[in-house]
């Protein structure tokens, strides 16, 4: 009887110990991300020195910590490099089929670093170089493209800093187009989010390259494997860019799109390459689990009418300049209020597209979106004779009321 009781006690003890000591299970790549999607995130749970989660369409910041700290960003720099390449293509200064000459400088940039093993004197297309930068983070291709566009890497870096200033990236300074320089070359999670958003929203075709997991370089020999593992393992990932140096740590700007919502996650100064992917997934999961888009107004939607003085016609209609798409917490759509501000009256002439007011959307006292209201048509100034006739007609109670 004692032995039986001891045996029962022993089994119970083993079960209790197993439950007590069961380790936390870490999700493998590709497993269901929804398990942790609804968990709240605080700053201490993300190991990065700095991070931000941003809505790509509105630029609204969902979560951040130390997001304006100036840090080395390594190859995340190439987001600006790719932006300038796309802008040069858009302006017609280069084409995807143009040939790019490999210089000694671009060859040296690839030695001992991420590269596609370019040799001096070789020529490859702009598209081939862009693909190598977006997928494999090729430093030799980045320098070759900088020289193609601006004549030298130094001149290209000047363009990078000029563009950063135009985008109001206040915590950024570039010294090269690759991110290989640490001292004096820096940015912030917020600024990386800004340039990531600019690239994705202005040139969504960049995802033709940045979202590719594996490909082959134009030489037909060199394999290209995306440095951003989320492209393969995270549902909806569309790029963007990893980065690592010993000083910078492990960095990642990652973008993903689900249900018409595109989010950008930036983590800087992570202690480990796998942790940067895990933290990026957690941030993106949080965003997709808790936020959604609400289309509030459409472009050219009529919001009101405004009286126009000294005009051939009495009024113009105020319409939305653009679509209004709000980022809101799920289930809070009925708590959104709007405020319409229109000019009381206008004096002719009024030009089509002229700003005549604004509509803003509020959640509590916080503005979460808005758009300018513009005149939907011209309102020409009436001649003196026309105004005189109008006055006579009003005296006799005829004509427009």
Please identify every residue annotated as catalytic.
75, 78, 137
What are the structure tokens assigned to 207, written together? Answer: 């995802």
State the Cα–Cα distance between residues 329 and 200, nearest whole angstrom. 23
Pairing mode, if any, of strands 302-309 and 345-347?
Answer: parallel
State the Cα–Cα distance between residues 37 and 66, nearest whole angstrom. 23
**Contact status, residue 96 vs residue 125, Cβ threshold 8 Å:** yes
State the Cα–Cα distance between residues 295 and 155, nearest whole angstrom. 42
Query: How far is the CA of 87 from the CAs of 94, 149, 160, 372, 390, in angstroms?
Result: 9, 10, 12, 26, 52
Strands (E), 14-131: 50-55, 61-65, 99-101, 123-125
What are the structure tokens assigned to 149, written together? Answer: 């566009």
Sheet holding 50-55, edge to edge: 61-65, 50-55, 261-270, 249-258, 237-245
| Cis before 349? omega within 30 | yes
Collect all residues with Cβ–Cβ distance below 8 Å to 369 and sequence separation of at least 6: 58, 296, 324, 325, 326, 327, 360, 361
- Name the nearest CA neighbour of 378 among 356, 401, 350: 350
What are the structure tokens assigned to 368, written together? Answer: 């979460």
What are the structure tokens assigned to 76, written together? Answer: 């995340």
Q: Give the chain's end-to-end CA distance (angstroms, integer).
A: 106
Question: The tokens 């492209």 sit on which residue?
Answer: 231
- Name the nearest CA neighbour of 122 among 221, 219, 215, 220: 219
Query: How far is the CA of 332 from the CAs of 112, 142, 145, 293, 366, in angstroms?
Result: 52, 45, 47, 11, 14
């Amino acid at each position: 009887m004692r032995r039986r009781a001891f045996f029962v006690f022993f089994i119970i003890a083993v079960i209790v110990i197993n439950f007590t000591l069961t380790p936390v299970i870490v999700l493998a790549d590709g497993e269901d991300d929804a398990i942790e999607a609804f968990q709240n995130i605080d700053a201490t749970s993300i190991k990065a020195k700095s991070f931000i989660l941003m809505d790509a369409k509105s630029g609204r910041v969902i979560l951040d910590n130390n997001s304006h700290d100036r840090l080395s960003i390594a190859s995340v720099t190439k987001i600006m490099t790719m932006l300038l390449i796309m802008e040069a293509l858009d302006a017609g200064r280069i084409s995807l089929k143009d040939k790019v000459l490999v210089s000694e400088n671009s060859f040296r940039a690839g030695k001992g670093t991420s590269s596609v093993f370019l040799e001096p004197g070789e020529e490859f297309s702009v598209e081939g170089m862009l693909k190598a930068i977006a997928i494999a983070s090729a430093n030799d291709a980045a320098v070759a493209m900088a020289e193609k566009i601006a004549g030298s890497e130094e001149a290209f870096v000047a363009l990078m800093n000029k563009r950063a200033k135009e985008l109001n990236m206040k915590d950024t300074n570039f010294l090269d187009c690759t991110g290989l320089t640490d001292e004096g070359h820096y940015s912030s999670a917020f600024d990386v989010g800004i340039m990531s958003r600019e690239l994705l929203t202005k040139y969504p075709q960049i995802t033709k390259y940045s979202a590719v997991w594996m490909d082959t370089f134009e030489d037909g020999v060199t394999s290209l494997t995306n440095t951003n593992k989320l492209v393969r393992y995270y549902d909806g990932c569309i790029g963007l860019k990893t980065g690592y140096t010993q000083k910078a740590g492990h960095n990642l700007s990652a973008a993903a799109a689900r249900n018409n919502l595109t989010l950008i996650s930036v983590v800087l100064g992570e202690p480990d390459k796998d942790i940067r992917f895990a933290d990026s997934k957690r941030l993106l999961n949080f965003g997709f689990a808790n936020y959604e888009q609400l289309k509030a107004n459409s472009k050219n939607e009529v919001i009101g009418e405004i009286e126009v003085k000294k005009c051939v016609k009495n009024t113009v209609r105020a319409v939305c300049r653009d679509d209004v798409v709000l980022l809101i917490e799920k289930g809070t759509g009925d708590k959104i209020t709007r405020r319409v501000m229109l000019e009381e009256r206008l004096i002719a002439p009024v030009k089509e597209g002229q700003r005549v007011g604004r509509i803003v959307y509020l959640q509590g006292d916080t503005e979460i979106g808005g758009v300018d209201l513009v005149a939907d048509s011209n309102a020409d100034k009436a001649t003196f004779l026309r105004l005189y006739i109008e006055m006579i007609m009003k005296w006799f109670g005829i004509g427009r009321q």
